[in-house]
C-alpha cells in the first residue's frame, strides 16, 4: 500500500476473462487506515499487463484525491 497526500491508496489488477486486466483503485481514510472511502473501478479499459492495470488504478486514486482539494 502506498500513501498519497496522507491517504493510503492501493491499485488492484483484476483478471479479465479471455486475457488482459481491469483495475480498481482504493482510497482509504488517512486517520483510520482500514476504512475505505472510495472505490474507483475501471471496467471500460483492458490492460495488457497486471502492472499497467495497477499503475492506472493508482493514478486514478491520486487524481481523485487531488480533486478533493
- Strand 7-15, strand 2-4: pairing: antiparallel
Note the pTM of the prediction, 2 decimals.
0.90
Mean pLDDT of 22-50: 92
Q: Is the pLDDT of residue 33 over 80?
A: no
Within 1-69, strands assigned E span: 2-4, 7-15, 21-28, 36-47
The partner residues of 22 in beta bridges, in order of sequence, read 14
Distance CA 67, CA 46 (A): 25
Tens of pLDDT, residues 37-65: 999 998 889 999 999 999 999 999 999 99
- Break the chain into its structural domains and give their ranges: 2-68
The residues, ordered by sequence, that sit 6+ positions from 38 with a Cβ below 8 Å of its Cβ are 25, 26, 27, 61, 64
Amino acid at each position: 500500500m502506498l500513501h498519497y497526500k496522507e491517504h493510503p491508496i492501493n491499485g488492484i489488477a483484476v483478471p479479465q476473462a479471455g486475457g488482459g486486466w481491469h483495475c480498481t483503485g482504493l482510497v482509504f481514510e488517512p486517520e483510520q487506515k482500514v476504512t475505505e472511502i472510495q472505490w474507483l473501478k475501471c471496467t471500460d479499459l483492458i490492460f495488457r499487463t497486471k502492472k499497467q492495470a495497477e499503475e492506472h488504478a493508482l493514478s486514478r486514486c491520486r487524481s481523485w484525491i487531488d480533486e478533493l482539494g
